[in-house]
Chain A
Amino acid sequence: MSELNKTPLLEVRDLKEHFDINVGFLKTRPLKAVDGVSFSINRGETLGLVGESGCGKTTVGRTLLHLYKPTSGEILYDGKEIKTKADILEFRKKATMVFQDPYSSLNPRMTVADIIGEPLDIHKLYETKEERRERILELMDHVGLNSEHASRYAHEFSGGQRQRIGIARALAVNPEFIVCDEPVSALDVSIQAQVINMFDDLQDKLGLTYLFIAHDLLIVRHISDRIAVMYLGKIVEMADADEIYSHPLHPYSKALMSAVPVPDPNTARANRRIALEGDIPSPLNAPSGCPFRTRCPHATEACAEAMPEFKEVSSGHFVACHRVGELN
């Protein structure tokens, strides 16, 4: 990864996204999908966002791009807050998204050329038809598709190739920043490496910045410069990718890292996993204080009272845990 510029490209401050859920006649309750998340991403950097299903990682990605209207909090891009409709439209020329499922995220009635050309149409990024066509072919070339694929439909392609189409579409507006929401989890193992390498190459070639959302920790570690771990709508730990793998500090991160199945029999046999009891609580009934305390082997009464502060314990390593000092 290239040299990192120290002014963040994207900054998120105390972002909250609450959905109103009907719980009775005319009665709603807030589901706190994202509950006070702050982070920043530098230009050319990849921030990995990991966590289990329901922890709010996808919602973070979507709220960032204003696909959901944030309940509260600030999103700053290049130092400027994204707020008005005009801001959002302008922002979407610089920030795009690659979705998880290459089967449902491509319109089956559109040809590949039209799928990739749609963002060009929306943002009126060409003068002549010829220019549009050239741009589409250039994008297809970027992601390793042939020009003869342009007039075909999405169903004629395999999963890996479909994901390439989705990536070409995300690149159409010449973005600086891409939210990658589980872009390889629907793909076969042998194809995943192809797509991951492509993300790497495109970053080098086009100077892209990624927010890489995934649950496969081996892949996130491979592609990310820094990693943030989410649990029940909050970021509980954030650090350099290697640091968080070798020295996780939050009890949840520790359990998560130890639960990754390692493809090596000797390591797997010797590996001591930290088994967590129980399941993730529903975000409708989030526990008081620290969200992890109901499954945490080290929880005390203090953990039930207040949410621990998200503080920097060593350079660039942030943790939200009351007992981080005594446990490590």
Chain B
Amino acid sequence: MEHTPLLKVRDLKTSFFTDAGEVKAVGGVSFNLERGKVLGIVGESGSGKSVTVYSILQILAPTGKIVGGSVKFNGQELIGIDEKEMRKIRGNRISIIFQDPMTSLNPTYTIGHQLMEAILLHTGRNKKQARERALEMLRLVNINEPEKRLKQYPHELSGGMRQRVGIAMALACEPDILIADEPTTALDVTIQAQILELMQDLQKKLGMAIIMITHDLGVIAQLCDEVVVMYAGSICEQGTADEIFYNPKHEYTKGLLRSIPTDQSNGQKLVPITGTPIDLLNMPKGCPFAPRCDNAMKICLRERADRIRINDDHMATCWMNAKEASSEQEKQEEADHE
């Protein structure tokens, strides 16, 4: 019997149709997410990491459209199903927490109302049971005085507390997948540490899979089993956290890791990636990173590399590896001749 991953994304393409033309925000993204795993998607602004998960949940802005590909959740195709069906999955089986806990909560309703809304919508509970569940969720995310919090409005809570409410809301229906879109970017370091720890604990306790979107490689290192690195709407490298951090094979990933200050870099110059991020309206023909890449070859400007397999846990779309692979093959052949 063939193994079905919890979430299987294949060649997902999403574009925004603006006055200036078609912006290919996501240009063919593929990955699998297994039950109970934490997948990190890392990239800079405009790399398409958020649009990828918004496409999975189908919560794109009106100008955005999924133009191709497939998203299979538990074997069920999500692209093209009607909104009624999608609603049974969104917020129930797959839920999301957003970056800014201030704007993702409705300022005109109490915390209790907003928490219970999701529970009443997706589960068969009555109002009293929903309230019990809401209290249970607030306790789960370590919010003190949960009874009092139910009656409070979002503005009465601190940023860290609001993000806890966001997590409680997302987990209220015991989802299979929790998507976290830069959940700690708006928070301070010590509060970020609290929230990341909480997510780790809950993941162990409840066993859901997490897709963690962030630009912070530190957060990725701490939390993720597997990592997807995105640049200009496509995946440039993908593998286990150890492979990505200790054996990076795409020039962009290497540059990114080099540009962060570390213990050793003190008193030395940082090694930045030169140039500026790419304009999605004017994508080059070849590798999107080629204009900024120090080691770009002729072929990089001409055509894009396919997914090149590094090992069982690792793949990269960078021609540098093709060269390595082919020269290795040559050596192998030479050895065979002898």
Contacts and interface: CB of A to CB of B under 8 A. Distances in A.
Contact of B188 (A200, A215, A275): A215
B138 to A, nearest CB: 16
B161 interface: yes
A265 B221 contact: yes
Interface stretch (B50-58, B91-99, B257-265): B257-265
A255 B270 contact: no
Interface centre among A261, A266, A268 (most CB of B within 10 A): A261
B218 A259 contact: no
Given A52-B189, A191-B276, A261 B222 contact: yes
Interface string A244-262: 0000000000011011111
A273 interface: yes
Nearest to B224: A265
Interface string B175-214: 0000000000000111111101100000000000000000
A189 B188 contact: no
Contacts of A271: 222
A190 B44 contact: yes
Contacts, number: 123
A262 B246 CA distance: 14
Interface string A174-206: 000000000000001111111011001000000
B241 interface: yes
Interface range for A: 35 or more
Contact of A262 (B158, B190, B196, B221): B221
Contacts of A273: 193, 197
Contacts of A189: 44, 215-217, 256, 259-260
A218 B218 CA distance: 10
A265 B241 contact: yes
B256 A190 contact: yes
B151 to A, nearest CB: 19
B160 A279 contact: yes
B48 to A, nearest CB: 14
A263 B217 contact: yes
Contacts of A259: 189-190, 192-193
A47 to B, nearest CB: 16
Contacts of B217: 189, 263
Contacts of A52: 188-191
A3 to B, nearest CB: 14
Contact of B269 (A191, A197, A215, A275): A197
B255 interface: yes
A201 B190 CA distance: 32
Interface of A: 52-53, 158, 160-161, 188-194, 196-197, 200, 215, 217-219, 221-222, 241-242, 255-256, 258-269, 271, 273, 275-276, 279-280
Given A197-B269, A263-B245, A276-B193, 14 more contacts: A52-B191, A158-B277, A189-B44, A191-B273, A191-B276, A200-B269, A218-B261, A222-B261, A241-B266, A263-B221, A265-B222, A269-B222, A275-B193, A279-B161
Interface of B: 44-45, 158, 160-161, 188-194, 196-197, 215-222, 241-242, 245-246, 255-257, 259-262, 265-266, 269-274, 276-277
Closest 3 CB pairs of A and B: A261-B218, A193-B272, A222-B261
